[in-house]
């Protein structure tokens, strides 16, 4: 059984096709990467799968259930979470509270018990706080537990987004350029973090520009060009694929 | 055991102490009158702050809900002989339903559009109160029978003061509870990033509607009490300027600070009374306060002071 199945997915913005007739499946437990030149439609694919955009046509199945067009909060309930390329941290909260929001679905979310602050709300919040702090420590953010989210350095914000997404206890995590803007040392650390997430049983869909990172950790790679399927396979297969080299790596080489 | 002196508990105790001690300094009926008005405004502001300060959704029409509550009480007790408590709850229920129906379409709007939408809503309420002369007495207003609770009538300023003070304390307690819970974090997340909140499993529309209804109901309850307390109401209670006044109180005291909302309501209720001689310039004052706060102290008084204290301690 595949965890995620995308069939003939298309999305156009005012006549411009950002994604066209794209199909692929992701098996549970895999690290699946999508690469492609700038403007290839990678982030659009992430936005379609996570429910930020509605597809123009095509269908998306999560655990063999049709989830096409469901809002993000419904998808989160089914076990899909993501991080954002342009950070979407809750800057009006502490780092810890950001992660606690990620755990929202596993808390008592009813209005009246909250209003009356019933004992189980207090207990639940205390447990949530401990859980969030442990999760932060596990992604290397132990020093920032009590910091305001807006005071965190860029690399830490990236990790905070990952911790927040993991707090939803996802089955699948969409990582949109987790290494963008990081220095080589930070990128290596993110590499280890992603491997750890996959080893923990969370399927990873990775969109990333850093080729070394992608080639090193991906079980399968999908190459997009102008919103279309160009190739897919394992890292060695992709590296040898002449079309990929021509459209993508070759293009870059020529520029140099 | 958890610590006894948390900021929230400390704040509640401090507020209770102020409410308890304040009568020692109130020397005449006028002083009590101002204190009671502070309480009534503060109840509205605490609710409005949940909407504006925490959830990040502006409303320029909340005086409309205040006026609807006031008129519901006036009409139901005066013309239909309802017991005041039933009228107060009936008004709150009606305003709750109305705000629930309005909330879904209006809260789809963002930023300036939401401001415009709620502004229009407030103006419509104000026009209806002015025009439905048969029902509301039109621009002349209408008298309101006194408040009777199971045969007990709060007569005299001190009784009203205690009633409003107790209700304010309860409102603040409920608001603090709400904020310090998964629901409260969800509201603040909506403020921080609606997209990210949705991805975390938060049905943002539902939470926005909930908090809009809560703030509208609090305004309605306060309006009902105001009607009985003052004994006479007019459409002026629901005017646009009143809505602006309420927002200014929230902004001055401090967005996303429940105690800030109380402080803002207190200051901006007292100051116009002190400057009664300059009544014509009241709007000017509110405008200047709003501008000044936006330029110099965007966080508002209470959060800025709290920050200052924290930095001192370090």
The residue extents of the domains of chain B are 30-240+255-262
pLDDT in tens, A49-86: 999 999 999 999 999 999 999 999 999 999 999 999 98
The confidence score (pLDDT) of residue A28 equals 94
Q: What phi, psi does A231 have (nearest 5°)?
A: -165, 160
Q: Which of B172, B175, B181 to mutate to probe the A interface, most A CBs <10 Å?
A: B181
Confidence of residue B3 (pLDDT cuts 50, 70, 90): low
The confidence score (pLDDT) of residue B305 equals 87
Which residue has tokens 């950790």?
Answer: A217
Q: Which of A46, A47, A73 to mutate to probe the B interface, most B CBs <10 Å?
A: A73
Give the up-direction half-sphere exposure of residue A116: CA atoms within 13 A in the CB hemisphere.
Answer: 6
Q: Rounded CA gap, B52 and B264, in Å? A: 14
Tell me the nearest-neighbour CA distance from A89 into chain B, angstroms.
7
Q: Strand, helix or coil at A248?
A: helix
pLDDT in tens, B77-104: 999 999 999 999 999 999 999 999 999 9
Mean pLDDT, range B130-149, rounded to an integer: 89
Strands A203-207 and A172-176 turn out to be parallel
Are A35 and A224 spatial neighbours (Cβ–Cβ below 8 Å)?
yes
Return the domain boundaries, chain A: 1-78, 79-172+180-191
Tell me the nearest-neighbour CA distance from B141 into chain A, angstroms.
36
Sign of CA dihedral A54, A57, A59, A60: negative
A contacts of B182 (beta carbons < 8 Å): 104, 107-109, 114, 121, 124-125, 128
Write the residue in B174, B180, B192 that is nearest to A91 by C-beta: B192
Cβ-based neighbours of A105, under 8 Å, separated by 6 or more = A76, A77, A168, A169, B200, B201
Q: State yes or no: pLDDT of B44 exceeds 90.
A: yes
Cβ-based neighbours of B90, under 8 Å, separated by 6 or more = B72, B76, B82
Q: Residue A234 CB: number of other CB atoms within 10 A? A: 12
The confidence score (pLDDT) of residue A256 equals 36
Q: What phi, psi does A178 have (nearest 5°)?
A: -65, -20
Q: Which of residues 195-214 of B touch A (CB under 8 A)?
A: 195-204, 210
A1-78 topology per CATH: Rossmann fold (3.40.50)
- B307 and chain A: CB distance < 8 Å anywhere? no
pTM over 0.90: yes
Q: State yes or no: pLDDT of A41 exceeds 80.
A: yes
| Average pLDDT score, chain B | 91
The number of helices, as runs of H, and strands, as runs of E, in chain A is 11, 10
The confidence score (pLDDT) of residue A67 equals 97
Q: Strand, helix or coil at A9?
A: strand
The confidence score (pLDDT) of residue B4 equals 56
Rg, chain B, Cα only: 19
A contacts of B204 (beta carbons < 8 Å): 73
Torsion of CA A141, A147, A149, A150, to 10 degrees: -130
Write the residue in B180, B198, B200 that is nearest to A164 by C-beta: B200
Burial group, residue A256, by CB count within 10 angstroms (0-12, 13-18, 19+): exposed
Mean pLDDT, range B272-288, rounded to an integer: 81
pLDDT in tens, B16-36: 999 999 999 998 999 999 999
Are B67 and B250 spatial neighbours (Cβ–Cβ below 8 Å)?
no
User: Which of A152, A53, A57 lies closest to A97 in space, CA to CA?
Assistant: A152
The confidence score (pLDDT) of residue A254 equals 43
Hey, are the CB atoms on B196 and A84 less than 8 Å from each other?
yes
Q: Which of B12, B185, B187, B207 to mutate to probe the A interface, most A CBs <10 Å?
A: B185
A contacts of B196 (beta carbons < 8 Å): 84, 88-90, 164
Same fold, A1-78 and A79-172+180-191: yes
Are B40 and B246 spatial neighbours (Cβ–Cβ below 8 Å)?
no
Please, what is the Cα angle at A188 between A182 and A194, to 5 degrees? 95
Confidence of residue A8 (pLDDT cuts 50, 70, 90): very high
Q: H or E element: which one contains A203?
A: strand A203-207
With CA atoms as reference, the chain B residue closest to A97 would be B185
Write the residue in B181, B201, B204 that is nearest to A114 by C-beta: B181
Tell me the nearest-neighbour CA distance from B102 into chain A, angstroms.
20
The confidence score (pLDDT) of residue B1 equals 39
Are B144 and B87 spatial neighbours (Cβ–Cβ below 8 Å)?
no
Which DSSP symbol is given to A94? B
The confidence score (pLDDT) of residue A40 equals 87
| CATH number belonging to the domain at A79-172+180-191, selected among 3.40.50.10540, 3.40.50.300, 3.40.50.1980, 3.40.30.10 | 3.40.50.300
Q: State yes or no: pLDDT of B58 exceeds 90.
A: yes
Sign of CA dihedral B258, B263, B269, B271: negative
Q: Residue A236 CB: number of other CB atoms within 10 A? A: 9
- B299 and chain A: CB distance < 8 Å anywhere? no
pLDDT in tens, B203-242: 999 999 999 999 999 999 999 999 999 999 999 999 999 9
Q: Rounded CA gap, B64 and B91, in Å? A: 13
Kindly write down the DSSP assignment for every residue of B260-298, as one continuous string.
HHHHHHHHHHHHHHHTGGGGGGHHHHHHHHHHHHHHH-T
Hey, are the CB atoms on A76 and B186 less than 8 Å from each other?
no
Tell me the nearest-neighbour CA distance from A113 into chain B, angstroms.
9
pLDDT in tens, A144-203: 999 999 999 999 999 999 999 999 999 999 999 999 889 989 998 999 999 999 999 999
Mean pLDDT, range B66-84, rounded to an integer: 95
pLDDT in tens, A209-254: 888 899 999 999 999 988 899 999 999 999 888 888 887 655 554 4
Q: Rounded CA gap, B152 and B81, in Å? A: 16
Q: Rounded CA gap, A8 and B196, in Å? A: 27
Q: Rounded CA gap, A178 and A207, in Å? A: 8
Sign of CA dihedral B69, B72, B75, B76: negative
């Amino acid at each position: 059984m595949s965890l995620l199945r995308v069939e003939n997915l298309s999305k156009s913005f005012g006549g411009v096709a950002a994604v066209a007739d794209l199909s692929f499946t992701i098996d549970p437990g895999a690290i699946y990467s999508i690469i492609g030149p700038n403007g290839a439609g990678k982030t659009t694919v992430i936005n379609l799968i996570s429910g930020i955009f509605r597809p123009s046509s095509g269908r998306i199945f999560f655990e063999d259930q049709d989830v096409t067009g469901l809002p993000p909060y419904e998808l989160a309930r089914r076990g899909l979470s993501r991080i954002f390329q342009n950070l979407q941290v809750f800057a009006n909260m502490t780092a810890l509270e950001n992660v606690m929001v990620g755990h929202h679905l596993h808390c008592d979310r009813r209005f009246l018990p909250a209003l009356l602050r019933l004992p189980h709300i207090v207990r639940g919040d205390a447990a949530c706080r401990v859980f969030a702090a442990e999760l932060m420590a596990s992604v290397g953010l132990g020093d920032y537990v009590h910091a305001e989210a807006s005071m965190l350095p860029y690399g830490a914000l990236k990790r905070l987004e990952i911790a927040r997404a993991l707090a939803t206890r996802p089955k699948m995590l969409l990582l949109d350029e987790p290494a963008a803007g990081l220095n080589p040392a930070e990128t290596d650390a993110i590499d280890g973090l992603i491997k750890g997430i996959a080893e923990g049983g969370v399927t990873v869909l990775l969109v990333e520009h850093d080729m070394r990172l992608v080639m090193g950790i991906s079980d399968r790679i999908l190459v997009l060009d102008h919103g279309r399927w160009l190739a897919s396979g394992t890292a060695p297969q992709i590296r040898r694929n002449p079309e990929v080299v021509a459209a993508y790596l070759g293009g870059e080489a020529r520029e140099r | 055991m958890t610590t006894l002196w948390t900021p929230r508990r400390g704040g509640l105790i401090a507020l209770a102490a102020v409410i308890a001690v304040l009568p020692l300094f109130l020397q005449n009926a006028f002083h009590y009158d101002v204190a009671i008005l502070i309480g009534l405004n503060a109840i509205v502001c605490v609710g409005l702050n949940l909407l504006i300060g925490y959830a990040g959704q502006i409303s320029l029409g909340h005086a409309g809900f205040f006026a609807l509550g006031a008129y519901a009480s006036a009409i139901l007790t005066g013309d239909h002989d309802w017991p005041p408590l039933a009228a107060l709850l009936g008004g709150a229920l009606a305003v709750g339903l109305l705000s629930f129906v309005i909330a879904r379409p209006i809260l789809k709007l963002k930023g300036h559009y939401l401001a415009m939408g709620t502004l229009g809503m407030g103006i419509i309420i104000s026009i209806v109160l002015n025009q439905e002369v048969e029902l509301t007495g039109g621009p002349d207003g209408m008298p309101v029978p006194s408040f009777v609770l199971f045969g007990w009538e709060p007569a005299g300023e001190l009784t009203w003061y205690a009633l409003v003070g107790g209700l304010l304390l309860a409102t603040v307690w409920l608001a603090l509870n709400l904020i310090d819970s998964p629901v409260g974090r969800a509201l603040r997340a909506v403020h921080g990033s609606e997209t990210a909140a949705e991805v975390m499993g938060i049905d943002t529309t539902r939470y926005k509607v909930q908090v809009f209804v809560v703030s509208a109901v609090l305004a309605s309850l306060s309006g009902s009490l105001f009607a009985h307390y003052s004994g006479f109401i007019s459409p002026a209670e629901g005017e646009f300027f009143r809505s602006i006044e309420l927002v200014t109180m929230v902004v001055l005291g401090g967005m996303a600070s429940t105690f800030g909302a109380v402080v803002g309501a207190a200051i901006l209720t007292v100051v116009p009374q002190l400057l009664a001689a300059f009544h014509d310039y009241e709007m000017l004052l509110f405008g200047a306060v709003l501008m000044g706060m936006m330029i110099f102290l965007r966080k508002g008084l209470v959060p800025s002071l709290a920050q200052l204290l924290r930095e001192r301690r370090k």
